Amino acid sequence: MRSLSLLRLSILVVALVGAVLLGTGLFRSYWSDVRRTVAYDLAREARSLPESQREDLLSEALTIDPGNWLASLDLAQERLFAGELPEAERLLDDAVRGNPQSPLANYTMGVVQFRLGSVETALPYFEAAARADPGNLQYEGMVKQVRAALSGEGPQPDTQGPGPFHGGDVDGSPGDTNNGGSE
C-alpha cells in the first residue's frame, strides 16, 4: 500500500507541473488521463488485497473515475457474492459498457441475469463471453444450457439454485479473478 501512496503523490506532482506547462485546456485532458490511470491502478491493486480491504479501494477507484470498468466488474462480483443482485447488475452494466469485449464482465452479467430469473436476457451475455474467450468450456456450456432450456429441449435452469455460480470467483476457478489474463 505504501508504494501506491507514493504513486499517487508522484502523479499529483506531475499533474501540477502539467497544469503550469500546458495551460487549462490541455491540462483538463491530461488530468482526465491521470485520473483514469490512478483509478485503474487502484482497481488492479484491490485484486491483490484480502476481501475485507478490497471494497474500499474499489469504491475509491470508482470515485476517482466512475467509468472504470475493472473496478465496476470487481465490485459487482463482491455484490454478487453478497447476494445483492440489483446492485451487481447496475455495476455490471457499467463494466460491460466500459469494456464490451471482456469475457468475464459479460459472463458475470449473464450470471446476474440468470439469477434474477431473466434467462432469455442472460443468453446474449453468455454468447458474448464465449465469443470473446473461444474454447472456454464454462462459457460455451452455459450458452448450450440456456439455449436448450429456452428451446424446451433441455431442463429448465434453476435460477434460484447455484446455477453458473459455483463459489470462489464468478468464473468458477478460485483465485483467478482475471480469467487467465484476458481482462
- Segment 86-102, tens digit of pLDDT: 999 999 999 999 999 99
Distance CA 182, CA 90 (A): 23
Per domain, the residue ranges of the chain are 1-66, 68-183
68-183, which class in CATH?
mainly alpha
pLDDT at 176: 36
pTM over 0.85: no
Residue 20 has pLDDT above 70, yes or no: no
- Segment 32-83, tens digit of pLDDT: 666 666 666 766 776 676 777 777 777 777 777 788 888 899 899 989 988 9
C-alpha cell at 155: 431442463
Q: Where are the alpha helices (DSSP H) in the chain?
A: 2-46, 51-64, 69-81, 85-98, 103-115, 119-132, 137-151
